[in-house]
Amino acid sequence: MYTRSLNVPGCSFFLFGPRGVGKSTWIKQTFQDARIFDLLPAGEFLKFAKNPSLLSAAVTTEPKDRWIVIDEIQKAPALLDEVHHLMENEGYQRFVLSGSSARKLKRGAANMLAGRAITKAMYPFTSKELDFNLDPQKVLEYGLLPLSVNHGEQGLKAAFLKSYLVTYISEEVKAEGFVRNIGHFSRFLDIASLTAGTQINISGLARDAGIGRDTVQGYYSIFEDTLLGSYLKAYKPRAKVKEVTKPKFYWFDPGVLNAAAGAFDQPMPRDWQGVLLEHWIHHELKAYLDYNAVKGSLGFWRTPSGTEVDFIWWYGETAVGIEVKSSTTIRKQHLKGLKTLAESMAIEASYLVYLGSEELLIEGIQIIPVMQFLRKLHQGAIIGHKPR
């Protein structure tokens, strides 16, 4: 049993997150007295899909202050009309609408309740939720999905992760009819995994996968909407500086990325550990900002000459630069990106996160081991915000 960092909003909300991140477990732990409608079993789904009005008939037997949960809401978008009716005409205002994909709702022009419900996300475990009791190398290899974390044997972790993506494709992509050619999408995933965390070259990826450019763009959209990954945009300052603007794309979990890239079955490039560490830090930053409703934007910074900082968070005139290195020692060239960034704009703080053990201060840059960085992050000491 772990305490998750997601706070219960004071109003109705959509809760989205990939399969296996613990949405249903969190709901059952948090809303123990709720009336729960689970659309995952085929019988329940078919019942409400055929006759959505059955939802209103069932809910109106409940007290109006009781939480009503509809799990896997994307399977029956028509139920949102019933929820809207219950809010507007019956006075029910406490709904949890959970699902693993918002794509079917958005693409089907489903009733998104006209602002009556906010949207929240759930992520794989964060280091804080695991009380910082983590082996960084195991996180890089097996990720932070609850079933992966809870599997004791490494062989079982790898087997789970290799089956996860196959199951995800069959259940979320193929079953929902998002793509017609699952073979093309599988080839796209192979290439997208090996180019993870780099700036997206749509034309090059399409050429390597042997599919159309528009198809690749559509696949990235599917990839994002089914919550397997997200874009990281380039920082755009007000000043007219020639920063590169193509976005990067990060997978939601390093363990799933490892499985998709075939890392459990074959040697990977020398820089692969660095790719995984960037994904882990991206996950922790994104979850921290979201769970704590921290204002501002997260992006990366890169010049045409190739000088880069992996992550930059900015809010108004305040900015924090974060560089990630998988080495255990620090070299002079590791500091180049952060030094150039500080020369280009006002930076509140600069951090270089690495796999070493010493905390150092070099030319105003704070060199910090990954676990110490994560503790400070979740304490609100990296980005100026105190968690609730």
Residue 184 located in a structural domain: yes
Over range 182-204, report the average pLDDT: 88
Q: Are residues 180 and 322 in the same domain?
A: yes
Has residue 239 got a pLDDT over 60? Answer: no
Residue 3 located in a structural domain: no
Structural domain including 98 reads 13-121
Has residue 385 got a pLDDT over 70? Answer: no
Q: Are residues 320 and 261 in the same domain?
A: yes
High-pLDDT (> 70) share of the chain, %: 92
Residue 240 located in a structural domain: yes
Residue 182 located in a structural domain: yes
Q: Are residues 235 and 366 in the same domain?
A: yes
At residue 109 the predicted structure's pLDDT band, cuts being 50, 70 and 90, is: very low
Helix axes 202-209, 182-194, angle to 10 degrees: 130
Query: End of a domain among 78, 95, 121?
Result: 121
Has residue 274 got a pLDDT over 80? Answer: yes
Q: Which of 106-120, 253-267, 320-334 has the lowest mean pLDDT?
A: 106-120
Has residue 243 got a pLDDT over 80? Answer: no
Over range 118-131, report the average pLDDT: 96
Q: Are residues 352 and 237 in the same domain?
A: yes
Q: Are residues 152 and 274 in the same domain?
A: yes
pLDDT at 60: 97
State the Cα–Cα distance between residues 300 and 199, nearest whole angstrom.
10
pLDDT at 5: 96
High-pLDDT (> 90) share of the chain, %: 68
Has residue 197 got a pLDDT over 90? Answer: yes
Torsion sign across C-alpha atoms 365, 354, 161, 24: negative
pLDDT at 238: 58
Q: Are residues 194 and 329 in the same domain?
A: yes
At residue 388 the predicted structure's pLDDT band, cuts being 50, 70 and 90, is: very low
At residue 165 the predicted structure's pLDDT band, cuts being 50, 70 and 90, is: confident
pLDDT at 242: 55
pLDDT at 373: 98
At residue 154 the predicted structure's pLDDT band, cuts being 50, 70 and 90, is: confident
**Please, what is the average pLDDT of the chain?**
90
101 versus 54: the higher-pLDDT residue is: 54
Has residue 336 got a pLDDT over 50? Answer: yes
Q: Are residues 102 and 23 in the same domain?
A: yes
Residue 137's Cβ-count burial label (10 Å; 0-12, 13-18, 19+) is exposed
Over range 283-301, report the average pLDDT: 95
Q: Are residues 110 and 152 in the same domain?
A: no
Query: End of a domain among 121, 156, 173?
Result: 121
Q: Which of 102-106, 231-235, 241-245, 365-369 has the lowest mean pLDDT?
A: 241-245
Q: Are residues 203 and 298 in the same domain?
A: yes
Q: What is the pLDDT of residues 30-47, one digit of tens each?
A: 999 999 999 989 899 999
At residue 169 the predicted structure's pLDDT band, cuts being 50, 70 and 90, is: confident
Strand-pair partners of 37: 70
At residue 63 the predicted structure's pLDDT band, cuts being 50, 70 and 90, is: very high
The CATH number assigned to the domain holding 68 equals: 3.40.50.300
Q: Are residues 208 and 290 in the same domain?
A: yes
Has residue 203 got a pLDDT over 70? Answer: yes
Residue 203 located in a structural domain: yes
Has residue 350 got a pLDDT over 50? Answer: yes
At residue 140 the predicted structure's pLDDT band, cuts being 50, 70 and 90, is: very high
Residue 131 located in a structural domain: no
Has residue 54 got a pLDDT over 50? Answer: yes
Residue 350 located in a structural domain: yes
Q: Are residues 117 and 147 in the same domain?
A: no
Q: Are residues 108 and 148 in the same domain?
A: no
379 versus 186: the higher-pLDDT residue is: 379
Has residue 387 got a pLDDT over 60? Answer: no
Over range 97-109, report the average pLDDT: 74
pTM, entire model: 0.93
Residue 297 located in a structural domain: yes
Domain count within the chain: 2
State the Cα–Cα distance between residues 337 and 322, nearest whole angstrom.
10
Over range 126-144, report the average pLDDT: 97
Query: End of a domain among 92, 121, 150?
Result: 121
pLDDT at 170: 66
At residue 177 the predicted structure's pLDDT band, cuts being 50, 70 and 90, is: low
